[in-house]
Amino acid sequence: MSYRLVFTERYTKRASYFLKRHPDLEKQYLKTLQLLELNPHHPSLRLHALSGKLQTLHSISINLSYRITLELLIQDEQIILVNVGNHDAVY
């Protein structure tokens, strides 16, 4: 089953800024999004629910330093991307 990634305008701006600052991560970032679209529960993404003020969101890993936060709507087969950056930036 494939999921549909939803790129909000706000996320697109954040992702653009992130990739300008980290052009070396573009290939890994795109690979992460492709894997997320195919299987959000793939072990390499390290998908986990967040808590506290971000309890409605989940997080996946691009690598050990950078994350993407997202809304995971399994019933609609949609994944709404929220933020991308290092740990402090997304949490």
- One pLDDT digit (tens) per residue for the chain, 91 residues: 788 999 999 999 999 999 999 999 999 999 999 999 999 999 999 999 999 999 999 999 999 999 999 998 766 788 999 999 988 888 8
CATH of the domain at 11: 3.30.2310.20
Q: Which residues contact 7 (CB under 8 A, 6 or more apart)?
A: 15, 81
42 backbone φψ class: left, alpha, beta (φ>0; ψ -120 to 50) = beta
64 backbone dihedrals φ, ψ, rounded to 5°: -70, -20
Q: How many domains, the chain?
A: 1
**Which of helix, strand or coil describes residue 9?**
helix
Residue 37: domain span: 4-90
Q: How many CB atoms lie within 10 A of CB 34?
A: 10
> What pTM was computed for the model?
0.89
